[in-house]
Amino acid sequence: MRSLDIAGTGMLAQQTNVEVISNNIANMTTTGFKRRRAEFQDLIYQNLRRVGSNSSDTGSVVPAGAQVGLGVKTAAIYRINEQGNLQQTSNSLDMAVRGNGYFQVTLPSGETAYTRDGTFSLSPDGQIVTADGYLVQPGIAIPSNATNVTINAAGQVQVSIDGQTAPSTVGQIQLAAFPNDAGLDAQGDNLFLQSAASGNPVTGTPASPGFGSVLQGFVESSNTNVVSEITNLITAQRAYEMNSRVITTSDQMLSTLTNLR
């Protein structure tokens, strides 16, 4: 019976759906996290009577035909890149992007990764780095005798030094933007890599056209909506139960056939 296989694909699809939702909920406090949504497509159809075929020698055409669907499949797990809430911190090196753009990070391999997690600190050399010690491009060093660090909305990093009246500019934060943010390749650790689907990055100064501004002393929280995720979880659970009910019903029908005498 086709219904057994069809319901099986439905259960697998809802299992994937629940896994995506659970990952969203698990990362509800992850800085810069963007929630995901599972997208599904129906499988190919089996033609019992092909639509548009001739039903007689006179040229009459079958208006609807008869097609039986063979189930569902996972088409994509889409990342929703809407802005998360901005949370104030007590760290002067923390930064949040309000709007479009990603911070650029140099990995140990030399590759450039991209992140919305602006939880930064200083390395032993005084350079601004991520929580894992990866250098934040373009490599800004804070002098050891600096008494205050200021980062404006345009990403300009200035420091105050004893004995100097005017602040000194020590670097400029650059952001990267992509034609298709959803196409970035997630690596874990709040990092993304460029892919063929994301397109080539375009770099620019924060607060310039096409780029968001930088807020010092803030981080972007996860954009997971717990109420929405719980509602989606209930819907996925009910869909899973209904597909399992189809398997039970199909099994009962097969049992009736085997008991015929």
pLDDT in tens, 165-189: 788 888 999 999 999 988 999 999 9
239 and 133 co-located in one domain: no
Report whether pLDDT(56) > 80: no
70 and 166 co-located in one domain: no
Mean pLDDT lowest among 50-59, 183-192, 213-222, 235-244: 50-59
Question: From CA 201, how far away is CA 77, in angstroms rounded?
Answer: 22
Please count the structural domains in the chain: 2
Print the SS3 string covering the chain.
CHHHHHHHHHHHHHHHHHHHHHHHHHCCCCCCCCCEEEEEEECCEEEEECCCCECCCCCCECCCCEEEECCEEEEEEEECCCCCCEEECCCCCCEEEECCCEEEEECCCCCEEEECCCCCEECCCCEEECCCCCEECCCCECCCCEEEEEECCCCEEEEEECCCCCCEEEEECCEEECCCHHHCEEEECCEEECCCCCCCCEEECCCCCCCCEEEECEEECCCCCHHHHHHHHHHHHHHHHHHHHHHHHHHHHHHHHHCCC
Q: What is the pTM of this model?
A: 0.84
75 and 90 co-located in one domain: no
pLDDT in tens, 113-168: 999 999 999 999 889 999 999 999 988 898 888 888 899 999 999 988 877 778 88
97 and 137 co-located in one domain: yes
More confident residue, 147 or 71: 71
93 and 197 co-located in one domain: yes
User: Which pLDDT band holds residue 96 (cuts at 50, 70, 90)?
Assistant: very high
Mean pLDDT lowest among 5-9, 73-77, 158-162, 207-211: 158-162
143 and 199 co-located in one domain: yes
206 and 115 co-located in one domain: yes
Please state, for a pLDDT cut of 90, what percent of the chain lies above it.
64
124 and 204 co-located in one domain: yes
pLDDT at residue 165, rounded to an integer: 76
Report whether pLDDT(12) > 90: yes
95 and 214 co-located in one domain: yes
User: Which pLDDT band holds residue 19 (cuts at 50, 70, 90)?
Assistant: very high
77 and 105 co-located in one domain: no
204 and 98 co-located in one domain: yes
203 and 129 co-located in one domain: yes
* Domain carrying residue 68: 2-81+224-258
